[in-house]
Amino acid sequence: VNGVLEIPVVFNVLYRSSSENISQSQLQSQIDVLNKDFNAQNSDFNTPNNPYSSIRANVGIRFVLDKVVRKRTNKRSWGTNDAMKKSNRGGIDPTSPTTKLNYWVCTIGGGILGYAQFPGGSSATDGVVIDSKYTGTNGTASYPFNLGRTATHEVGHWMNLRHIWGDSTCGNDQVSDTPTHNTANYGVPSVGHRSTCSGTPLEMYMNYMDYTDDRGMYMFSNGQKSRMLSVFSTSGPRASFR
């Protein structure tokens, strides 16, 4: 890489109602959040009383809005079976998925805010899917997921991060500097919240890879940073983005 990694983002917007056809301004506000959150420039990065302040990461990846593709549909919700990524199922095929991050904006349904494909999968379905109501910070963005953190979380998965609780009780997220959690946290947990896992560590509920509300999550750890960057190394599964 010559300098900082820059990821072009293609938004694929599928809408039935005009409110689902979210504005360029709302899409740009999402890009702005990604740039803040991945560069330690988010306004809540220095939240006081963070027991993990010494391992907060500046990931150092930039995002740039490359293109917006829009398509009208009769579907009320798309689910999580990747139909939104396929023109032969009424969706939108990805644009250059080996060099651009494809981001589908649609109504998912079932209480799902978003989902992502991990590295190593088919390029035809590569990218992230995030509901229009949880994209960006203006327009239709809806509290408590109105600060663009669903995309920060899903892009974390796209860069190979697991949930901080390792998807099981006191599970392993494959990152050594994140503590074990009993399970997902919701809302905004109290300062000092501990897990009952071995060693009763303070939980890192302010991490983007927990399920905390948007206003309660504000950091990646240094260990998560190295796991993400390795995906883009010369031998990594997303080396084509370099």
Q: Distance (Å, rounded) from C-alpha 224 to C-alpha 109?
A: 29
Q: Is 20 a catalytic residue?
A: no
Non-local (6+) Cβ contacts of 143 within 8 A are none
Q: Distance (Å, rounded) from C-alpha 239 to C-alpha 91?
A: 27
- Nearest Cα to 17, choosing from 110, 112, 132? 132
Q: Where do contacts with ligand ARG occur on this chain (CB under 6 A)? A: 112-115, 145, 149-150, 153, 211-214, 217
Tell me which of 82, 131, 154, 173 binds Ca ion, using CB under 5 A. Answer: 173
Q: Which is nearer to ligand ARG, 95 or 138 (CB)?
A: 138
Could you say which of Ca ion, ligand ARG, none residue 14 binds, taking C-beta under 5 to 8 angstroms by partner kind? none
Could you say which of ligand ARG, Ca ion, none residue 213 binds, taking C-beta under 5 to 8 angstroms by partner kind? ligand ARG
Tell me which of 129, 175, 206, 209 binds Ca ion, using CB under 5 A. Answer: 175
- The packing angle between helices 149-158 and 24-37, to 10°, is 60
Name the minimum Å distance from CB 59 to ligand ARG.
17
Q: Distance (Å, rounded) from C-alpha 5 to C-alpha 232?
A: 9
Could you say which of ligand ARG, Ca ion, none residue 173 binds, taking C-beta under 5 to 8 angstroms by partner kind? Ca ion
Which residue stretch of 77-85, 87-95, 128-136, 174-182 sits at the interface with Ca ion (rule: CB under 5 A)? 174-182
Task: Tell the residue number behind the tokens 């250059």, with chain if given.
Answer: 96
Name the minimum Å distance from CB 182 to ligand ARG.
18
Q: Which is nearer to ligand ARG, 5 or 147 (CB)?
A: 147
Q: Which is nearer to ligand ARG, 63 or 236 (CB)?
A: 63
Q: Distance (Å, rounded) from C-alpha 194 to C-alpha 214?
A: 20
Q: Which is nearer to Ca ion, 141 or 204 (CB)?
A: 204
Q: DSSP states of 51-99 as a string? A: TTGGGB----EEEEEEEEEEEE---S--TTSSGGG-GGGTS-PPSSTTT
Q: Which two tokens stand for residue 84?
A: 């939104």
Site for Ca ion in 178-197 (CB under 5 A): 178
Catalytic residues: 154
